[in-house]
Amino acid sequence: MRLLDEIVGGATSSGTPVADLLRQCLVLAYRLKNARLKEWCKAELDGYPDGSELPEYRKGVAHSYGLMVGPFGARIDRQPLALGLVEEKHRSFLMEICWQEPIAQLEAMLKIESDEIVAAWPADLVAYYQSRFIKGFALNRAWKSIPKNAIVAICDVVRSRILLFALELSEEVGDAESPLERISGREVEAKVTNIIFGGQNIIGSQVAGSVHQAGGET
């Protein structure tokens, strides 16, 4: 089928934006009449709202660094911050990254020159831990550092799942003239579960923050 061929061709080309592939996959989802595939495409294109269930590939771990200021103008820049000194109520926010952004926004982040993505700690959290890390030095500012290849991995997972899903459907329908209606709804649902959702009916766990969002009480 032409649409499947276009999706396969785009997914195997590094020049095709993942957002474009998702739009084609959304068209496919409507033709297949599969609600879960529609939902996944829309979430990837529009971003995952607060409180929604996030796929595992959109979660990661961050490391925190800070600027420490001491007496007589002394300073330590990019000091690794030991999060074992952080209270448990703040630790998950500082260690975990939840990428809720639309896929196009993530792809745009790949164009920055730096090898890392930086997310600043909230000012009140910096003040709360100002004197917790190095005796005689005050924490002036702090940030979470995420390697840019974490975003590369997200985009690659989405691209690969779309490709495999399209290839599986192509194999099912056979020649290019065969209609998608030839595939039963049950078969489509099984492929969506196993390929798009990685074999899970429910993806990830409840989240309520993104890489750009402040969180945690002080």
Give the E-state strand segments of the chain in sequence order.
Answer: 59-61, 63-69, 75-80, 96-98, 116-120, 138-147
pLDDT at 113: 84
Residue with tokens 């000194």: 85
Whether the CB-CB separation of 7 and 24 falls below 8 Å is answered with: yes
Rounded to whole angstroms, how far apart are CA atoms 80 and 25?
A: 42
pLDDT at 211: 46
pLDDT at 53: 86
Give the predicted TM-score (pTM) of the model. 0.81
pLDDT at 188: 92
pLDDT at 208: 32
pLDDT at 177: 54
pLDDT at 163: 97
Whether the CB-CB separation of 62 and 202 falls below 8 Å is answered with: no
> How many C-beta neighbours within 10 Å does residue 201 have?
8
Going residue by residue through the chain (218 aa), what tens digit of pLDDT does each one get?
688 999 999 999 989 999 999 999 999 999 999 999 999 999 999 999 988 889 999 999 999 999 999 999 999 999 999 999 999 999 999 998 899 999 999 999 998 888 888 999 999 999 999 999 999 999 999 999 988 999 999 999 999 999 999 999 988 877 655 677 778 889 999 999 999 998 665 433 333 334 443 334 44
Residues 6+ apart with CB under 8 A from 26: 38, 41, 42, 45
